[in-house]
Amino acid sequence: MQPYPSIALIGAASGWGAQRRETEDGPHMLRDLCLAQRLQKIGIPARWAAMVEPMKHVRECSLAVGLETLPLVAEHAVHLCGEVSRIVRTGAFPVILGGDHAVAIGTWSGVVDALKACCNFGLIWVDAHMDAHVPATSPSHAYHGMPLAVLLGSGAEALVNIGGMAPKLNPQHVCLVDVRSFEPAEKAFLDDAGVRVFYREEVDERGFAAVMRDAVSIASSAKGGFGMSIDLDAFDLHEAPGV
């Protein structure tokens, strides 16, 4: 059996992309609950490599969803991008723990930067939602509903251009798994881009393993490597009722 690579746990402690912002506490709680030590006990060499904090914490101020929070979302994404890129270049395997799903912007911008794989990196997006809105189509104006569109090159300029490259991803190397809730504008965006979506119905019909084999085939067609972004709301509500 191949040994596990060194696992670098990176906390992305921001909830500014969501309406409910206490998700910024997530990585701190995982660290306090000794996640790294628990992984080490089962033979996985994990360590906390960084905890990326927001410019302001959610309990310090109250801001309306949308443009008021954009500077905080963007600043955190820039910082996270830099930390992820730095850590990936050391050879460690990054596991980024949020936070709301807007942290995916900084996460994958950093990975693509470190690997010099702009538009040649694959991504499997496991999520109950598409997260493919742009500001003009989003009913909530919350940035956690926009990260995939941003990584594909559409959305707020302050987010799209993080890392000095846009787009980060080529649609032919991207797929979504377990989607069950979305707006028509998101579907139209992804359909127009040619992104493969495995809806919940297909997962139920074919089984998760079969769908994931297809998803890996799509993502691994990119020569620069591939990753997976998981939103806990894709999990069965009986297993993860908190999401």
Write 32-35 long-range contacts (CB < 8 A, 24+). Answer: 35/9
In single-letter form, the type of residue at position 87 comes to: I
Residue 152 reports pLDDT greater than 90? yes
Map out the domains of the chain as residue ranges. Answer: 7-234
Residue 102 has pLDDT above 80, yes or no: yes
pLDDT, one tens digit per residue, over 210-228 is 999 999 999 999 999 999 9
CA distances from 207 to 50, 210, 213, 227 (A): 36, 6, 10, 21
DSSP 8-state class, residue 59: T
Strands 226-230 and 122-126: parallel
pLDDT at 88 over 90: yes
Residue 63 clears pLDDT 60, i.e. is over it: yes
pLDDT, the chain, mean? 95
112 with 173: CB under 8 angstroms? no
Alpha carbons 57 and 53: distance in angstroms, whole number: 8
Determine which helix (DSSP H) or strand (DSSP E) holds 30, and give its type and residue range: helix 26-32
Comparing 10-24, 114-128, 188-202, which segment has the lowest mean pLDDT? 10-24
Supply the pLDDT for residue 1. Answer: 44
CA distance 89 to 111: 9
Q: Mean pLDDT across the stretch 21-40?
A: 96
CA gap 108, 85 in Å, rounded: 9
Q: Do the beta carbons of residue 149 and residue 132 sit within 8 Å?
A: yes
Closest by alpha carbon to 107, among 143, 83, 133? 83
CATH code of domain 7-234: 3.40.800.10
Predicted local distance difference test score (pLDDT) of residue 212: 98
In this prediction, residues 6-23 reach a mean pLDDT of 94
For residue 3, what pLDDT is reported?
62
The average pLDDT across 26-45 equals 97
Per-residue pLDDT tens for 119-146? 999 999 999 999 999 999 999 999 999 9
| Nearest by Cα to 154 from 186, 128, 176 | 186
